[in-house]
Amino acid sequence: MLNFGGLVLNEWLKMSKKRSFFISYAVMLFTIVGFTYLIWKLSGVQSSDVGTETSTVLDFIAMVMSVSAVGKVITIISIIFTAGIVAKEHQLGTVKFLLIRAHGRSKILASKYIAALLFVCSIIIFSLVTGFIASGIAFGFDTSAGQETWGSVAEAVLYQVVYTFIYVTLTFMFGILTRSSGATIGIGMTAVLMEGLLQMLLSSYDFSKYLLFMNTDLSLYAGDGPNGGTAFPSMVCAAYAVLFLVISFVTFKKRDIA
């Protein structure tokens, strides 16, 4: 376990030395601050018309964490960052030096995957804290007002984590299959951007409920609405995640490293 923890730490240190590591957080900072300013200006216009305040800190945080809003940016950044974790090792030839060590291929690959998930968690937490501070300055830190509660914010964060984890796992798999960071980024971003179109085109077919893209956004199934809750889409997402990981590990273990 200590050896594996060292591998994960090593991967994290390698990631933190990349320029793109801090650029990712800077992009989220400017995105959230800009989004806060935009909502603040719109709220000011609406307040002058109706005499009431239209946004609160919890309302804004829930919006930031929403998969259909700023949360999409979190997923895209995570895809771009994850794409090179394995692919660039192949492109630079450094993967050979990893495999001549005493650690097995599965352990090395698992450490890379865990490091990618830790990056996702860190940027989600960073976005959450940034959103809270920015919206608190703009709208006040009163959490008792507004429609959203801490519980609904936690749900939004959970749905964002699941959504991003699924696409990061998909990107991780294609990074191993293609060994090209450019192609992997293209595939991952296309999947995210085409998701809404596929949902619209295929939603009328019965088989669509078993497709990944119909189940990644668990917020669509929240509550007791007609979509039936989050249990089934969660199982579908878990099944696909396991499939992607199996393909990733089998391919990485079987492939010859020239």
pLDDT value, residue 97: 64
pLDDT value, residue 60: 87
State how far Cα 133 lies from the chain centre.
21
pLDDT value, residue 228: 66
Q: For residue 188, give every residue at least 6 positions away whose Cβ sits within 8 Å of its Cβ, in sequence order, or none.
A: 79, 80, 82, 83, 167, 170, 171, 174
State how far Cα 231 lies from the chain centre.
20
Distance, CA of 106 to CA of 111 (rounded, Å) = 9
pLDDT value, residue 23: 94
Question: Each residue's pLDDT tens digit in the chain (258 positions)?
Answer: 658 898 899 899 989 988 889 999 999 999 999 999 988 888 765 544 544 444 688 988 988 888 888 899 999 999 999 998 888 776 766 666 666 666 788 998 999 999 999 999 999 999 999 999 999 998 888 887 778 888 999 999 999 999 999 999 999 999 999 989 999 999 999 999 999 899 899 989 999 999 999 999 999 888 755 566 899 999 999 999 999 999 999 999 888 765
CB atoms under 10 Å from CB of 200, counted, come to 9
- DSSP string spanning the chain? -HHHHHHHHHHHHHHHTSHHHHHHHHHHHHHHHHHHHHHHHHHHHHHHHHSS----HHHHHHHHH-TTTTHHHHHHHHHHHHHHHHHHHHHHTTHHHHHTSSS-HHHHHHHHHHHHHHHHHHHHHHHHHHHHHHHHHHH-S--SSSS--HHHHHHHHHHHHHHHHHHHHHHHHHHHHH--HHHHHHHHHHHHHHHHHHHHHHTTSGGGGGSGGGTS-GGGG-TTSTT--SHHHHHHHHHHHHHHHHHHHHHHHHS---
pLDDT value, residue 229: 83
Q: For residue 178, give every residue at least 6 positions away whose Cβ sits within 8 Å of its Cβ, in sequence order, or none.
A: 87, 184, 187
pLDDT value, residue 158: 95
